[in-house]
Structure 1
């Protein structure tokens, strides 16, 4: 059973998932702080390169299975044209103004 993106608790995370699933890099990057960072499986990555490769050019898609920590931690099925489908964990740091300053993902 998945949670529809519109039903996610945290507004920034809700918009993040919607931008990923609609393949909208402009909306995606508008959600992030100018100095946002990210990691994949515990290793910091270049955010622009990683998101292009893993999300936008490979048609990434998230099916959220559950949320915790007020909606700032997700378990989701993530699929793209490169790797197929895998179960992933996502954690978000959201600033007081509602933008994402960091996200961490990896296999769940």
Structure 2
């Protein structure tokens, strides 16, 4: 039985995770397409406001536990100062080498 990878092999997704974990806003938005969208627990959100609240002002971090073969579906323990730690799922759409949409929610 093969162990599941814990590092995304899709370069855009890997850049997204690295930017979140570094708290690097510039790198985060560079990993996204200009018209990127997101859904949190099934509801579309304003990406800039969500990222500020859920990642940057609350020290958000992703500890990736499992990655799909294509590198675009993750299970991670997500931790921030607002909500603490929770198991989350992340599904990424990548267009032209950048994340054009991501969907997250509790796993």
Compared CA separation, residues 75 and 12, structure 1 to 2 (3 A): same
Give secondary structure in 1 for the equivalent of 2:9.
Answer: coil
What TM-score do you get using the length of structure 1 for normalisation? 0.92
Give secondary structure in 2 for the equivalent of 1:30.
Answer: helix
Q: Is the 8 A contact 2:5 2:67 kept in 1?
A: no
Q: Which residue of 2 aligns with 1:101?
A: 100
Q: Which runs of 5+ in 2 are unaligned?
A: none
Give secondary structure in 2 for the equivalent of 1:82.
Answer: coil
Deviation at 1:31, TM superposition (A): 1.0
Give secondary structure in 1 for the equivalent of 2:79.
Answer: strand
Q: Which residue of 1 aligns with 2:47?
A: 47
State the superposition RMSD in angstroms.
Answer: 1.4
Q: Which residue of 1 aligns with 2:76?
A: 76
Q: Is the 8 A contact 1:2 1:63 kept in 2?
A: no
Q: Which residue of 2 aligns with 1:88?
A: 88
What TM-score do you get using the length of structure 2 for normalisation? 0.93
Q: Once the two structures are superposed, what CA deviation does each residue of 1:57-79 show, in whole Å capped at 9, x if it has no partner?
A: 00000000001150100000000
Deviation at 1:8, TM superposition (A): 2.1
In 2: Cα distance, 1:82 partner to 1:18 partner: 20
> 4+ residue stretches of structure 1 with deviation over 2 A?
none
